[in-house]
Structure 1
Amino acid sequence: MSRPPTRGGGRGRKGDRRASPAVPALPRDPRTVRVDGFTHGGEGVVRIEGKAVFVPGALPGETVVVRVVEDRRSWARATLVDVVTPSADRVEPVADPDVLGGGDLAHVAPDGQRRLKTRVLREQLGRLGRVAEPPVHECRAVGPDLGYRTNVRLHADPDGRLGFHRAASHAVVPVDRVLLGTPEVQALRDVVGDRTGAAEVSLRAHASTGTAAVTITPGPGPLDLPDGDFDVVLAQPNGRPLPIRGDGVLAERVAGLTYRFDTTSFFQVSAGGAEALVDEVLRAVGAVDGALVWDLYAGVGLLSLPLARAGAEVVAVEGHRPATRWAVSNAADADLPVRVEQAPVEDLVHAVAERGRTDLDPPDVVVLDPPRTGAGTDVIADLVALGPAAIVYVACDVAALARDTRALTEAGYRLTGAQPLDLFPMTHHLETVATFVR
């Protein structure tokens, strides 16, 4: 195996210096180019002197004028100066992407956004996952294209005005209208106002239960707490929420089940998105009556409860202690038998695979909903050793899914289907439910 060069150029045998060949810098003057690709991060890809150049705002098939602003050894980034020949999917955005809070696909018609997401998923599974002809279904719309978020985080600028961070910056763009937030979230924004003394304010509101909470991260000065029909919680440096008004407990109704959780616990940012995930996972696992199903990275039990209701024997594994407590209480409230294990997923899976824990049987089916970084090679290897008949993988990052797909297929599993769900319209983010069989 060759050793990578050091930052200074590396040292070959007998101490002779081996400098890396120089790479000519790309020109910084405007260039007219054609967009021939699209990244999973939502950027168009052009080629300048053979180098891949990423262009935010550019769409495949367009002829554009760009200016290089960042030039690395193997790639570069450019700004979009002008669109000479626009894509048929290009539209006038409802607002600047920074005002939307990350709306980097707001310049694309909603159906076009979903076609791009389908394309990206298919390309990532093919190129990075090494799956020939990936069985990717068309991206499915699951709710409104605006006004869908039940959870929004705002930051304060130096004058105390609340808004979103500008892309790739800590600068704050003040906003009065939270266009991606639900009407209930907007109502919270109206009441909270500005100049609360907070460094950061999180707004969460769930229409199905009427619960709402405002979480305030204090700034350096005094706080002016908002008054209204919602809970107020202080975020503490130790990560524990400190309720100031109310108990800081939220709830959401999904698929006929009620889930309760505190402000530190993760829950899907749209009720329609959560419902779509439950439906798609149940469809993917098929008949599970009597089967032993492990729900890994289970959170507060979003998928565990419907699986138990379908007749599965469910073991829910979650490393976040508050979330496991809510999973236990949510299962009890629904009168559903779910065994909840509070442990890092990688530790528990490895312990069972190595027979360090004999109180848990290997699963028949695994439902896997890892963080953005994916499950990783160690977890995948241990799952393969346990040999479940099927693995249903819920992914929020297509590149991580593709990497884990390669590990699974090389170990003898086959990808039978991947259903992209558009849980985050106006952004490049995508949720996917992928099914693997042994």
Structure 2
Amino acid sequence: MNRRPRQKQSHGRSLVGQTFDVEVGPVAHGGHFVARHDGRVVFVRHALPGERVTVRVTEGDEGSRFLRGDAVSVLEPSPDRVEAPCPVAGPGLCGGCDFQHVALPAQRVLKAAVVREQLQRLAKLDVPVDVEAVPGDDDGLRWRTRVQVALTPDGRRGFRAHRSHRVVPVDDCVITRTDARVEVEGEPVDEGVVSEAVSTSYGDHTFDVAAGGFWQVHPGAPRVLVETVLDQLRPEPGESCLDLYAGVGLFSAFLADAVGPTGSVHAVEGDRTACEHARANLAAYPHAAVTRGSVDRTLDRLDLEPVDLVVLDPPREGARKPVVSAVVARAPRAVVYVACDPAALARDVSLFTEGGYRLDALRAFDLFPMTHHVECVALLTR
């Protein structure tokens, strides 16, 4: 669940373990907050803007450009600070949740600030952002429908500490549903198939998904994402669509309904198993096709006429320039970009603006309460 630290070259005496007091500044992308000490930036977890805290350094040495640390004592708390609902959410403990110490409405304000800052800095756009709650969780808890756990040396289940290999035992993950599917890190994933039903104002579909394949972990996510994509694209009968990074065909199925038999939908997905399920899930639509392959290379070789609509739902690193350029070359009237990383979204939006598109609408959803993650859906028009 957590990114492991890269090995870094030492630049002097280690500062790990040292403590000092700081005034906490704004939230930064990645679940931490910006502070300064002795002229150097310190990225602090478990803090809030405006607080005065004692920081213990967790990464950095005398020559580091910046330090990382945990707020181990709160000297002047923010009014948005609350007691974490999980006993292992805190400095040196489970690294899965970044914001359990933050009141839920304030979590969404922080996420909105990150999305807005990334768009300002990377795309030179000043866009109002409101992170919306999504039905399907209980005050930000019990929403994960699938979770991967690690094992301690004595065989207990748990999660890794932040930027660490160390496993923290967790008996009850408070953001995970009691009926969630649990996978154990390093063990073979069940290759069976599960069915996921999605009911929206546009219709109902059931999707076959590999038990270990990708599917949104928040129960409210598929519906809200499908409805937002269709609301923004406004597909018309007879239009042609590209669904890139299509997974098992979630968006493709509803697009196929919308454009009808006189239109077309072409889904592109790199994962073999996901493609097999996408073909099965779209079997009722003769005007829908699925191509397996990496999106950048596939777009280069697909002999497609210009298309009307494009959906992009890339992995965390984003679509990047080759894909954006290939999409722009097909001159769609509208592109909807579904993003789980605001920095990648902002970089790609900048590429689209260079290609003659503008950001016309943006919605953000709290699909990952108690963490720093946020899902965005952006509409780009020519």
**Normalization by structure 1: what TM-score?**
0.76
2:272 matched residue in structure 1: 321
Segment drifting more, 371-380 vs 154-163: 154-163
2:177 matched residue in structure 1: 182
Q: Could you tell me how far apart the structure 1 residues matched to 2:172 and 2:25 are?
A: 35
Q: Describe the SS at the equivalent of 1:182.
A: strand
2:148 matched residue in structure 1: 153
Q: Would the alpha carbon gap of residues 320 and 27 (structure 1) be closer, same or farther in structure 2, given more than 3 Å must change?
A: closer
* Aligned mate of 1:172, from 158, 167, 185: 167
CA offsets per residue over residues 200-231 of structure 1, 9 Å max, x none? 627xxxxxxxxxxxxxx54xxxxxxxxxxxxx
1:399-414 matched pairs, under 5 angstroms: 399-414=343-358
Q: Could you tell me how far apart the structure 2 residues matched to 1:336 and 1:125 are?
A: 39
The answer to whether residue 329 in structure 2 is matched with residue 385 in structure 1 is yes
1:109 matched residue in structure 2: 103
Q: Could you tell me how far apart the structure 2 residues matched to 1:173 and 1:65 are?
A: 23
User: Is the CA contact (8 Å cut-off) linking 1:309 and 1:336 kept in structure 2?
Assistant: no
User: Is the CA contact (8 Å cut-off) linking 1:105 and 1:428 kept in structure 2?
Assistant: yes
Q: Would the alpha carbon gap of residues 257 and 435 (structure 1) be closer, same or farther in structure 2, given more than 3 Å must change?
A: same
Q: Which runs of 5+ in 2 are unaligned?
A: 1-7
Instruction: Give 1:59 shift.
Output: 1.2
Q: Describe the SS at the equivalent of 2:235.
A: coil
* Aligned mate of 1:273, from 204, 207, 221: 221
Q: Could you tell me how far apart the structure 2 residues matched to 1:181 and 1:30 are?
A: 34
The answer to whether residue 306 in structure 2 is matched with residue 306 in structure 1 is no
Q: Could you tell me how far apart the structure 2 residues matched to 1:100 and 1:73 are?
A: 26
CA offsets per residue over residues 364-387 of structure 1, 9 Å max, x none? 111000000100111112222222
Q: Would the alpha carbon gap of residues 28 and 427 (structure 1) be closer, same or farther in structure 2, given more than 3 Å must change?
A: closer
1:123 matched residue in structure 2: 117
Which amino acid counterpart does residue 277 of structure 2 have in structure 1? W
Higher relative CO (CA 8 A, sep ≥ 6), structure 1 or 2? 2
Two-structure CA RMSD over aligned residues (Å) = 2.5
Q: Would the alpha carbon gap of residues 46 and 303 (structure 1) be closer, same or farther in structure 2, given more than 3 Å must change?
A: same
The answer to whether residue 86 in structure 2 is matched with residue 138 in structure 1 is no
The answer to whether residue 214 in structure 2 is matched with residue 259 in structure 1 is no
CA offsets per residue over residues 343-375 of structure 1, 9 Å max, x none? 211012223xxxxx43x2222111000000100
Instruction: Give 1:29 shift.
Output: 5.3
Q: Could you tell me how far apart the structure 2 residues matched to 1:78 and 1:163 are?
A: 22
Which amino acid counterpart does residue 341 of structure 1 have in structure 2? T
**Normalization by structure 2: what TM-score?**
0.87
Instruction: Give 1:335 shift.
Output: 5.0
Q: Would the alpha carbon gap of residues 163 and 24 (structure 1) be closer, same or farther in structure 2, given more than 3 Å must change?
A: closer
Which amino acid counterpart does residue 316 of structure 1 have in structure 2? A
User: Is the CA contact (8 Å cut-off) linking 2:100 and 2:371 kept in structure 1?
Assistant: yes
Instruction: Give 1:270 shift.
Output: 2.0
The answer to whether residue 192 in structure 2 is matched with residue 201 in structure 1 is no
CA offsets per residue over residues 151-178 of structure 1, 9 Å max, x none? 1111111111111112222222222223
Q: Could you tell me how far apart the structure 2 residues matched to 1:27 and 1:407 are?
A: 39
User: Is the CA contact (8 Å cut-off) linking 2:362 and 2:379 kept in structure 1?
Assistant: yes
Q: Describe the SS at the equivalent of 2:144.
A: coil
1:31 matched residue in structure 2: 20
1:54-65 matched pairs, under 5 angstroms: 54-65=43-54
Instruction: Give 1:258 shift.
Output: 0.4
Q: Could you tell me how far apart the structure 1 residues matched to 2:89 and 2:240 are?
A: 44
User: Is the CA contact (8 Å cut-off) linking 2:240 and 2:307 kept in structure 1?
Assistant: yes
Q: Would the alpha carbon gap of residues 414 and 267 (structure 1) be closer, same or farther in structure 2, given more than 3 Å must change?
A: same
1:15 matched residue in structure 2: none
Which amino acid counterpart does residue 44 of structure 1 have in structure 2? F
Q: Aligned residue pairs: how many?
A: 359
2:41 matched residue in structure 1: 52
Instruction: Give 1:27 shift.
Output: 11
The answer to whether residue 17 in structure 2 is matched with residue 66 in structure 1 is no
% same residue: 43
Q: Could you tell me how far apart the structure 2 residues matched to 1:335 and 1:29 are?
A: 62
Instruction: Give 1:24 shift.
Output: 11
Which amino acid counterpart does residue 91 of structure 1 have in structure 2? V
Instruction: Give 1:336 shift.
Output: 7.0
Q: Would the alpha carbon gap of residues 27 and 396 (structure 1) be closer, same or farther in structure 2, given more than 3 Å must change?
A: closer
1:86 matched residue in structure 2: 77
Q: Which runs of 5+ in 1 are unaligned?
A: 1-6, 9-21, 190-199, 203-216, 219-233, 236-240, 352-356
Q: Describe the SS at the equivalent of 2:282.
A: helix
Q: Could you tell me how far apart the structure 2 residues matched to 1:282 and 1:30 are?
A: 51
Which amino acid counterpart does residue 137 of structure 1 have in structure 2? V
CA offsets per residue over residues 213-265 of structure 1, 9 Å max, x none? xxxx54xxxxxxxxxxxxxxx44xxxxx5x5xxxx111111122101111232
CA offsets per residue over residues 255-282 of structure 1, 9 Å max, x none? 2210111123211112211111111111
CA offsets per residue over residues 49-79 of structure 1, 9 Å max, x none? 3322100111112222224442454322122
Q: Describe the SS at the equivalent of 1:303.
A: helix
Instruction: Give 1:108 shift.
Output: 0.7
Q: Describe the SS at the equivalent of 2:123.
A: coil
Which amino acid counterpart does residue 266 of structure 2 have in structure 1? V
Q: Would the alpha carbon gap of residues 329 and 416 (structure 1) be closer, same or farther in structure 2, given more than 3 Å must change?
A: same
Q: Describe the SS at the equivalent of 2:249.
A: coil
* Aligned mate of 2:234, from 279, 283, 286: 286
Give the structure with higher Rg (CA): 1
